[in-house]
Amino acid sequence: MRLLRTPEDRFTDLPDFDHPASYADVDHPTHGIIRVGYVEVGPPDGPPVLLLHGEPSWSFLYRKLLPVLADAGLRAIAPDLVGFGRSDKPADVADHTYARHVEWMRAFAFDALDLRGVTLVGQDWGGLIGLRLVAENPERFAGVVAANTGLPTGDFDMPKIWWAFHDAVQNAQVLDVSRFVQSGCTHELTEAELAAYDAPFPNETYKAGPRAMPALVPTSTDDPATEANRAAWDRLSTLDLPFLCAFSDNDPITGAMAPILQRKMPGAAGREHPTIPDAGHFLQEDAGEQLGRVVAEFVRGLP
């Protein structure tokens, strides 16, 4: 597997994101060692919170939540998915599979950092990957916050707006990462913020991850990930793990998943699930501080 590594000077002068970068090596018997970049804030002995981003963003997306969680005494950890942010970037689209991304984040969270009693916060692909981690390693988790995400199996069609995004990524000669992030927000990003979303990708050769992810979403029942995701649903539906849905009020991509998760997850029963107002698909951008307060209250209330 050919790996690319974004030069560090691409990450200078990031707005409101001056946290020192940390790195962890994850190993796999068939595709070797990959370096995962992450940022961490808050007390090292605080309740851990794992913040997983999605397509086509990186941990910069969580910059508004990080200080809120740290001030609440939580240990907030925001990694970059492999192929994104400061993490190593497999150069070929075919190097990216759903199963590999689950394994890479599993190895990061549990082999490298040995997280226990962790709360997952997953948005977009952060939930597709994170919910698999919960289902397959429930003993490691204390709770789950699902924020504009889901766990598709291919049994139901994706929304038309998602297919438009899928096709736009497939057909783009030049993949404009920051434009795609902007399209999922309700407010206008600054030039510096747009530049920060483009920073991990000096040129098109670095963008195999963002190009691959839409095609990895199970959209038919013969998808390679369908069986594993169905098994995850079966396992999750038996776990009495505290589960909170914190979806925005303006996400046509995943909005329909909120009531399904609330109904299917035992740990969601009897809980008040907030709707984050005036926010789009990337609710961390549009209402990050509010989402941070919701997450902090949830974690501090766990047994």
- Annotated catalytic, 222? no
- How far apart CA 65 and CA 293 sit, in angstroms, is 8
Of the listed 80, 124, 223, 286, which one is catalytic?
Answer: 124
Please report the DSSP string for 158-225 in residue order. Answer: PPHHHHHHHHHHHH-SS--HHHHHHHT-SSPPPHHHHHHHHTT-SSGGG-HHHHHHHHHS--STTSTT
- Annotated catalytic, 9? no
- Annotated catalytic, 92? no
The residue behind tokens 């009897």 is 270
- Which residues, at least 6 apart from 295, have a Cβ–Cβ distance to it below 8 Å? 49, 65, 68, 69, 119, 121, 145, 246
Of the listed 80, 223, 281, 286, which one is catalytic?
Answer: 281
Question: In this structure, are strands 22-28 and 118-122 parallel, antiparallel, or unpaired?
Answer: unpaired
- How far apart CA 203 and CA 194 sit, in angstroms, is 15
Of the listed 80, 88, 251, 286, which one is catalytic?
Answer: 251
Measuring CA to CA, which residue among 111, 169, 98, 163 is closest to residue 137? 111
Structure tokens at 33: 């060692």
SS3 27: strand
Q: Which residues are catalytic?
A: 124, 251, 281
